[in-house]
Chain A
Amino acid sequence: MIKLTINNQTYEVDASPEMPLLWAIRDMVGLTGTKFGCGMAQCGACTVHVDGNPVRSCSFPVSAAVGKKITTIEGLSERIGEAVKKAWIELQVPQCGYCQSGQIMSATALLKTKPKPTDADIDAAMQGNLCRCGTYQRIRSAIHRASELIQS
């Protein structure tokens, strides 16, 4: 049994240690907001926070998450996360929506370290998150908007 702390709750999962954290979160804990897109750290759909840092959970063994604080889209609740979600709704960012949990997790992590990101900061932080629907222009605007919301 492996013990995980996800969104401030403790779960015990019967997973082999090398199994990616993504499948423990989705299939064993049942939190499906975190998505599977590629399985090789190329798309960012599976992004969660581990001790506050954005991590591609498809390429992160569950054993490495033991003793750490995992946050998924469902548990994103502090001020910056709320501002990001608010901006995302205000600007109607999602199309199909499938990549958006990962986008929001990456954007929140960016704003935590850089509350006033430049376009170059956004390029650097968000490059790992693919969106096949092509919502990038709105993602950029929504990050700037969230930044404003945080300042106010």
Chain B
Amino acid sequence: MANQLTNIDRRNFLRLTGITGAGLVLGLSAHADGAATVENLAAAGESFELTPYVVIEKSGQITIFNTKPEIGQGTFQSIPALIAEELEVSLDKVVIQHTGGEKKFGGAQFSGGSASVRTSYTSLRKVGASAREMLITAAATQWNVPVSECYASDAKVFHKPSGKSLGYGELAEAAAKVEVPKEPRLKDPKDFTILGKSTPRPDVPLKVNGTAQFGIDVSVPGMVYASIERCPVLGSKLVSYDDSAAKKVKGVVAVEKCERIHGVYRSEGVAVIAETYWAALQGRKALKVTWDHQGNDKFNSKTYEQSLRDASKQEGAVEHSQGDFDKTFAEAPVKLEAFYETPIVSHSPIEPMNCVASWKDGSLEIWTSTQVPGRIMDEFTKTYDVAPEKLKIHVMFNGGGFGRRLYPDYVHEAVQLTKKIGRPVKSIWTREDDTRMGPFRPMTFSAMKGALSADGKAIAFQHKVISPTLDMRKDYDKTKADRTMTEGISEQKYEIANMKNLYVHHYLHLPLAAWRAVTSTTLAFSHECFIDEMAVKAKKDPMAFRLGMLTKESDTKNVLNKLKEVSNWDKPLPAGWGRGVAQYEFFAGLGGFVVEVSKKGTGIKIEKVYAVIDLGTVVNPDTVEAQVQGAAVMALTAAVKSGITFENGQTVQSNYHNNQLVRINEMPKVEVHILANGGPRIKGVGEPGLPPFAPALCNAIYAATGKRIRRLPFDINKIV
């Protein structure tokens, strides 16, 4: 990565951020962080001029810019911490500011792909270390003493022999004139006071006393509220509407069309705009809208699922091939096949989609909860023909992201409405809008084949994925495997000599989206349950069977060994209990679970959950624990609750009463273990705790009951 530290053009930068009295402004001249992104949001590889990250003002105030929106994953702490650690300042002495897509802050202004910490770890530490060295040099020069006699601590530089000190604010101006060190010396991890420690997150107190500002909490003078009627049959066209009754509702000020823009998926809606949100909702109820369903009112989940099963007969595009799968499978003494199915699910963050937008004299201002300020800057300057310096994006705390807020469709609507009526507009989706309209995580179906040698060794393996794709173009090239939809299936470390993984694309007209841990959330289920089926067929213990395929050293092997240890895998369980294991490695990282269940009436009870996440390097263990526990809950919801289904083109589910989430009484105890043994690769935190949960659970259910679950969701209270 060609990161170069730069003491940037301060005048330009200050104009940009509105900070006055700045002394030292340090940034990176960097390529975009080069992160693996969920859907290429950040045009990786594109180089950006400058990425300023830290500003030290003469007053002593230190501002650290955070390009990774806080969605609950802890970047409001973990990202500034990288700089603060090296700068020798504690986070409670620092102002943390979210960036708003400004070009100066580079191409990686987004939260997604569990990429924030793993892609910033070294580069941001270098920023902090450079600032520290420049401040020390400035102090040594002023005192006329050797640099080696000075050190930094608690936002001050000290002269060891004399004990005198100067604050960073006092040094900032002089430090700004010091040459930026080429290779700043990074702290030895054993001297860390923040990194690797469970440090309190600065956003937590705000989220406990109600003062944290989420997008939905924003209010600007003259603002009106919008609620938008969209066709319940997804993929319909607006024909006409009658707003005469809506306009009679007290408080309604306007009724306007707007377009939802979600990649290739476009749909028009009718917005009722009113002085209060309540009035907008009443006005919306009074609208009469005529839609052309384009034939999509015939769409049903059951029929579509059958068409996926039919499509599985196609050969498909080769995603990965090694050895000779076809021959080995044909000649193998023992073989097995199985078909796995998963549902469409919703993101359902508790903060519904919303956006405040204000268009005034050719300038556009946006306040919203979003994961992608960088994308909004790129996309909206083009779509609405507004110069980058006339677009101001305020990134608010996100009331949940999970991938939903990678897509600014709800921002588009608000922007169009403010342009039309000339007043600031706050658009809020209802929970029903959120549940019915998507975008949704697509399902994947999997046709699995495996072969064993006579002595029970895995010799051939095939994972064929049949699914729609996040690339929703009708002219999708079926001859190519979509690697987003086959995520991880060829990345597992199991040493199986003959493998051929395939992909069959099947069109779906619905708006689709990445969901926390993307396609690994469904593929890990089929993959790791089928590995279990192979173990059973081979009459081997599922843990031993897996470890038997991992003769070489690998992180996966370490994860499984750790799981074996912390779960006391070899210790017998009470009668009626069972335990299951699963792991999954994919672009975001690597995690694994052992789940213990017991029979309870006709169903099962989850008794205990052990999680191991492999990070290489950890920044905040407490946050990691929380993320893995949360990922387990989200995975459990996706495994045992209804998911999203369609009848006559309409989403069957509408709100939390029929699109249920796991509640506190259903929450199993999750014990989290972190592997942080160094190594070159830093792995992600937010997502890897999700994919292996459902297969570990279903493998445990098999162990306890003999019932093999091959379709999600399933009713956990009706297993036997």
Binding site for B on A (CB under 8 A): 15-16, 19-20, 23, 26-28, 30-40, 42-43, 45, 72-74, 85, 88-89, 92-101, 104, 122-124, 126-127, 129-140
Closest Cβ of chain A to B405, distance in Å, is 10
- Of B214-222, B501-509, B551-559, the stretch lying at the interface with chain A is B214-222
Complex alpha-carbon distance, A23 and B530, angstroms: 50
- Chain A residues in 8 Å Cβ range of B219: 30, 32
CB pair A133–B400 under 8 Å, yes or no, is: yes
Judge whether B47 is part of the interface by a CB distance below 8 angstroms.
Answer: no
CB pair B399–A137 under 8 Å, yes or no, is: no
* A/B pair count, beta carbons within 8 Å: 176
Complex alpha-carbon distance, A13 and B348, angstroms: 32
Query: Within the complex, which residue of B209, B217, B630, B669 is in contact with A133, where a contact is CB–CB below 8 Å?
Result: B630
Complex alpha-carbon distance, A97 and B669, angstroms: 21
Complex alpha-carbon distance, A28 and B643, angstroms: 36
Query: Within the complex, which residue of B209, B216, B348, B667 is in contact with A134, where a contact is CB–CB below 8 Å?
Result: B667
A-B contact pairs, 17 of them (CB 8 A): A19-B276, A23-B276, A27-B277, A35-B351, A37-B431, A38-B655, A38-B656, A39-B655, A42-B431, A73-B210, A89-B205, A124-B665, A130-B350, A132-B350, A132-B634, A135-B626, A137-B667
CB pair B207–A94 under 8 Å, yes or no, is: yes
A129-B664, A134-B667 given as contacts; is B400 within 8 A of A98 (CB)?
yes
Main secondary structure of the interface of B (DSSP, over half): loop
A85-B208, A96-B71 given as contacts; is B622 within 8 A of A123 (CB)?
no
CB pair B216–A132 under 8 Å, yes or no, is: no
Could you give, for residues 357-381 of chain B, a 1 whenever the CB lies within 8 Å of some chain A CB and a 0 otherwise? 0000000000000000000000000
A27, A73, A98, A101, most chain B CB atoms within 10 A? A98
CB pair A74–B210 under 8 Å, yes or no, is: yes
Complex alpha-carbon distance, A89 and B205, angstroms: 6
CB pair B203–A97 under 8 Å, yes or no, is: yes
Complex alpha-carbon distance, A15 and B53, angstroms: 46
A37-B351, A133-B72 given as contacts; is B398 within 8 A of A96 (CB)?
yes
CB pair A35–B669 under 8 Å, yes or no, is: no
Query: Within the complex, which residue of A42, A100, A126, A137 is in contact with B657, where a contact is CB–CB below 8 Å?
Result: A42
Judge whether B110 is part of the interface by a CB distance below 8 angstroms.
Answer: no
CB pair B217–A32 under 8 Å, yes or no, is: yes
- Chain B residues in 8 Å Cβ range of A45: 350
Closest Cβ of chain A to B642, distance in Å, is 14
B668 closest partner in A (C-beta):
A137
Judge whether B632 is part of the interface by a CB distance below 8 angstroms.
Answer: yes
Closest Cβ of chain A to B225, distance in Å, is 8
CB pair A132–B655 under 8 Å, yes or no, is: no
- Chain B residues in 8 Å Cβ range of A96: 70-72, 349-351, 397-401
Judge whether B608 is part of the interface by a CB distance below 8 angstroms.
Answer: no
Query: Within the complex, which residue of B278, B348, B397 is in contact with A16, where a contact is CB–CB below 8 Å?
Result: B278
- Chain B residues in 8 Å Cβ range of A34: 210
CB pair B210–A72 under 8 Å, yes or no, is: yes
Closest Cβ of chain A to B613, distance in Å, is 15
CB pair B208–A137 under 8 Å, yes or no, is: no
Complex alpha-carbon distance, A73 and B207, angstroms: 10
- Report the count of interface residues on B (CB-CB < 8 A): 62
CB pair A85–B209 under 8 Å, yes or no, is: yes
A104, A122, A132, most chain B CB atoms within 10 A? A132
CB pair B208–A100 under 8 Å, yes or no, is: yes
Closest Cβ of chain B to A88, distance in Å, is 5
CB pair A136–B667 under 8 Å, yes or no, is: yes
Judge whether B549 is part of the interface by a CB distance below 8 angstroms.
Answer: no
CB pair B350–A137 under 8 Å, yes or no, is: no
Query: Within the complex, which residue of B207, B216, B278, B656 is in contact with A43, where a contact is CB–CB below 8 Å?
Result: B656
Closest Cβ of chain A to B657, distance in Å, is 5
Complex alpha-carbon distance, A93 and B203, angstroms: 11
Closest Cβ of chain B to A43, distance in Å, is 6
CB pair A127–B209 under 8 Å, yes or no, is: no
Closest Cβ of chain A to B625, distance in Å, is 9
CB pair A132–B349 under 8 Å, yes or no, is: yes
Task: List B residues 416-441 near A (Cβ within 8 Å).
Answer: 428, 430-431
Complex alpha-carbon distance, A35 and B200, angstroms: 24
Closest Cβ of chain A to B515, distance in Å, is 12
CB pair A97–B397 under 8 Å, yes or no, is: yes
CB pair B656–A42 under 8 Å, yes or no, is: yes
Judge whether B383 is part of the interface by a CB distance below 8 angstroms.
Answer: no
CB pair B352–A37 under 8 Å, yes or no, is: yes
The 4 closest A-B pairs by CB, nearest first: A33-B210, A134-B633, A97-B207, A98-B399
Closest Cβ of chain B to A85, distance in Å, is 5
CB pair A36–B216 under 8 Å, yes or no, is: yes
Closest Cβ of chain A to B114, distance in Å, is 14
- Chain A residues in 8 Å Cβ range of B543: none
Judge whether B176 is part of the interface by a CB distance below 8 angstroms.
Answer: no
Judge whether B612 is part of the interface by a CB distance below 8 angstroms.
Answer: no
Could you give, for residues 57-75 of chain B, a 1 whenever the CB lies within 8 Å of some chain A CB and a 0 otherwise? 0000000000000111110
Judge whether B402 is part of the interface by a CB distance below 8 angstroms.
Answer: yes
Closest Cβ of chain A to B565, distance in Å, is 22
- Chain A residues in 8 Å Cβ range of B622: 92
Closest Cβ of chain A to B669, distance in Å, is 7
Could you give, for residues 395-412 of chain B, a 1 whenever the CB lies within 8 Å of some chain A CB and a 0 otherwise? 001111110000000000
Judge whether B204 is part of the interface by a CB distance below 8 angstroms.
Answer: yes
Judge whether B629 is part of the interface by a CB distance below 8 angstroms.
Answer: yes
Complex alpha-carbon distance, A51 and B428, angstroms: 30
Judge whether B201 is part of the interface by a CB distance below 8 angstroms.
Answer: yes
CB pair A131–B200 under 8 Å, yes or no, is: no
Complex alpha-carbon distance, A26 and B213, angstroms: 12
CB pair A100–B250 under 8 Å, yes or no, is: no
Closest Cβ of chain A to B425, distance in Å, is 14
CB pair B205–A16 under 8 Å, yes or no, is: no
- Chain B residues in 8 Å Cβ range of A127: 663-665
Could you give, for residues 624-642 of chain B, a 1 whenever the CB lies within 8 Å of some chain A CB and a 0 otherwise? 0011011111100000000
Complex alpha-carbon distance, A88 and B209, angstroms: 10
B399 closest partner in A (C-beta):
A98
CB pair B277–A23 under 8 Å, yes or no, is: yes
Complex alpha-carbon distance, A73 and B647, angstroms: 41
A16-B250, A97-B399 given as contacts; is B631 within 8 A of A134 (CB)?
yes
